Amino acid sequence: MNSQYIGRFAPSPTGELHLGSLVAAVASYADAKHHSGSWLLRIDDIDQPRKADGSSESIITTLNAFGFKWDGPIRWQSQREGSYRKAVASLRERSLAYPCRCSRRQIEKMAQPGVEGMIYPGTCRQWDGEGASQVSIRMLTTSTQTSVPDRILGRISHNLKEDIGDFVIFRADGVTAYQLAVVVDDYLDNITHVVRGADLTLSTPRQVYLQRQLGYPTPQYAHIPLVHDHKGEKISKSDGANPIDAAQPLLALHVAWGFLKQRPLTEPMASVDDFWNAAAKAWRIEALQDAIAERSNINSS
């Protein structure tokens, strides 16, 4: 095994795996195996209100049926509350994060739209947090550019203050926000390579900013294209969108492989293990770069 490469797949248990999540799992697994790396499975189950009953179990069963083999025990976000709280406390102690009592409705009234959601105007920056319960905690952002290379997209960059605003790292309902949890998880698991869906591209500069403030290393990122439904919308687990057929894993693996612009695997295959042996050798992440370059040539001609 190559300790220089530790990848992961981190589904949220909000429903059954669908083709979009299978594509993300295939890309991260094939990339890890191609580099003789480790591959971890983490269940992002911190957001209890959004959890769908039984979906963690069904995701694990489906991944097994598709021949994914993760290294070590499954990681569960719900078991890491203590680490998240420590990270939040460390940011607050250094005045890099602050309590906020604004409601969503108040923010909508006073804020401008940014690249993802409203840009929080910093109203509570000066508030001392006296006497408040049920507040959220926001990360103080700055106007400098936070920029990170992406193995497929080139470079992802945001001026966090102007594009995003001070973002929530701990929610008023007592749940650690996704942005903070994922950064702490990737650090605790020594993740070196993150391969995931392009819906998280916009989150990446916020995560890199948090890594820098917490003194964590930044993994290498690669964001893969999303699978859209016939209406052109991203398919998502919580819509109950097209669960994949675990009874025919080879068929679905080939579909996901083709979606990832990989050369068809022509070896005879009797099992999912045969698929993965061939896929680990043949995987070329560059094929996705080529597809993006081609698309931008078509758009600009």
User: What is the contact surface with ligand GLU in residues (CB under 6 A)?
Assistant: 10-12, 44, 182, 196, 200
Nearest approach in angstroms of CB 160 to ligand GLU is 18
β-sheet bridge partners, residue 119? 112
Between 102 and 206, name the residue whose CB sits nearer to ligand GLU: 206
Nearest approach in angstroms of CB 42 to ligand GLU is 8
Between 56 and 262, name the residue whose CB sits nearer to ligand GLU: 56
Measure Cα distances from 10 to 118, 119, 181, 290, 292 in Å.
26, 27, 12, 26, 25
Between 124 and 224, name the residue whose CB sits nearer to ligand GLU: 224
Between 11 and 67, name the residue whose CB sits nearer to ligand GLU: 11
Nearest approach in angstroms of CB 182 to ligand GLU is 5
Do the strands 75-76 and 37-43 form a parallel or antiparallel pair, or are they unpaired?
Answer: parallel
Query: Can you tell me the distance from the alpha carbon of 18 to that of 25, in angstroms, rounded to the nearest whole number?
Result: 11
Residue 70 · residue 33 · CB < 8 Å: no
Which H/E stretch holds residue 272? helix 272-282
Nearest approach in angstroms of CB 269 to ligand GLU is 28
Residue 59 · residue 43 · CB < 8 Å: yes
Nearest approach in angstroms of CB 238 to ligand GLU is 10
Q: What are the φ and ψ backbone dihedral angles of 204, each rounded to 5 degrees?
A: -60, -45
Between 102 and 225, name the residue whose CB sits nearer to ligand GLU: 225
Nearest approach in angstroms of CB 44 to ligand GLU is 3
Tell me the residue nearest to ligand GLU as measured from the CB: 44
DSSP 18-85: BHHHHHHHHHHHHHHHHTTEEEEEEE----GGGPPTTHHHHHHHHHHHTT---SSSPEEGGG-HHHHH
Between 236 and 262, name the residue whose CB sits nearer to ligand GLU: 236
